[in-house]
Structures are given as structure tokens and as C-alpha cells.
């Protein structure tokens, strides 16, 4: 169920509860691929829901110099810019050359990025399809810092 402002492809709006399908549609709405010098900009889009119910979207940017970023990073940057840090649900989508829409799981870098924004984000629901999802903690096992091996006095 949406609260105002979400009927169009905005990078921000507020929701109470959002289904997988509605979150996927929100990400799809900002999917506008554009090719520049053989690089594709905006061919993956992401939308997330914060603890406060705010919705943020972003797209990936692929650059030749490796300075680009994933769609999840763009959505998270918009969220952080608004002063929020806790993500309750996130999805990323990509459209193939035949026009079929796919939900894509976050890459390892994005999984770690989500975790580092706020420790509570280990409980973020990552949408993996129309009827499937997993908690970030299940996609990013062993994310806690390693235990101390040496106490500093030569004993273990």
C-alpha cells in the first residue's frame, strides 16, 4: 500500500507495506538503459524500502575506468542522503536483450555494502523473485569480524 507520490518513477516515496511485485515494478520504472562508448548506463535498477517506510531507487553506472557502481549503491546513496540507514527490503532488476525482466541478487560487494551501512541491515529482506526472498545474513554468511587469535602478550 502506497502513501502519496509513488505513482510515477520517482527516486523517493513512502510506503507502509509493499509486495515483491510492487517493489519489482518500482525498480523497473527507473530502468532506462543508455549506451555511451560501448558502456551501458542504467541497465540494472534497484529499489529499497527503509525502516521508516521510505522508498529509494537508483541505477547502475558502468564506466570504462572501473569507477562505476551498482544500482544498489545508487539507491543506498539516495537513502543515506536523506538521513536513513536501515533497509527492510531491497530488489534489483535487469532486462535482457529479448525484453524479459529478471530479478538479480546483489553481488558480493553490494551485500557487504548493505551490511556496513547499518548492522541491522543483516536482517534486510533481499527479493530474489516474485515469490522468493532471503535475509541478507543468509546471503552473506560469516559476516562477523573474526575472533582474536593473539591476545598481544604472546599467548593464544
Q: Residue 156 in 3-state DSSP? A: coil
Q: Tell me the percentage of the chain whose pLDDT exceeds 70.
A: 83
Judge contact between 26 and 71, C-beta under 8 A: no
In this prediction, residue 58 carries a pLDDT of 98
pLDDT in tens, 91-121: 999 999 999 999 999 999 999 999 999 999 9
In this prediction, residue 142 carries a pLDDT of 77
Cell of 99: 525484453
Judge contact between 105 and 139, C-beta under 8 A: yes
Picking from 12, 14, 19, the residue whose alpha carbon sits closest to that of residue 4 is: 14
Write down the mean pLDDT value for the chain. Answer: 88
- The pLDDT confidence band at residue 66, using thresholds 50, 70 and 90, is confident
In this prediction, residue 91 carries a pLDDT of 98
Judge contact between 91 and 27, C-beta under 8 A: yes
Entry pTM: 0.84
In this prediction, residue 148 carries a pLDDT of 72
Domain architecture of the chain: domains with CATH: 2-139 (3.40.140.10)
* C-alpha to C-alpha distance for 16 and 25, rounded to whole angstroms: 16
- The pLDDT confidence band at residue 153, using thresholds 50, 70 and 90, is low
Amino acid at each position: 500500500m502506497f502513501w502519496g507520490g509513488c505513482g510515477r518513477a520517482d527516486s523517493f516515496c513512502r510506503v507502509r507495506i509493499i509486495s515483491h511485485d510492487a517493489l519489482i515494478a518500482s525498480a523497473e520504472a527507473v530502468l532506462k538503459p543508455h549506451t555511451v562508448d560501448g558502456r551501458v548506463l542504467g541497465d540494472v535498477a534497484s529499489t529499497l524500502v527503509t525502516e521508516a517506510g521510505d522508498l529509494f531507487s537508483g541505477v547502475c553506472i558502468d564506466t570504462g575506468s572501473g569507477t562505476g557502481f551498482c544500482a544498489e549503491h545508487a539507491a543506498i546513496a539516495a537513502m543515506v542522503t536523506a538521513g536513513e540507514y536501515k533497509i527492510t527490503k531491497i530488489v534489483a532488476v535487469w532486462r535482457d536483450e529479448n525484453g524479459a525482466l529478471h530479478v538479480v541478487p546483489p553481488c558480493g560487494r553490494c551485500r557487504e555494502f548493505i551490511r556496513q551501512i547499518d548492522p541491522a541491515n543483516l536482517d534486510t529482506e533481499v527479493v530474489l523473485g516474485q515469490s522468493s526472498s532471503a535475509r541478507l545474513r543468509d546471503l552473506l554468511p560469516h559476516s562477523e569480524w573474526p575472533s582474536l587469535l593473539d591476545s598481544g602478550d604472546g599467548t593464544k
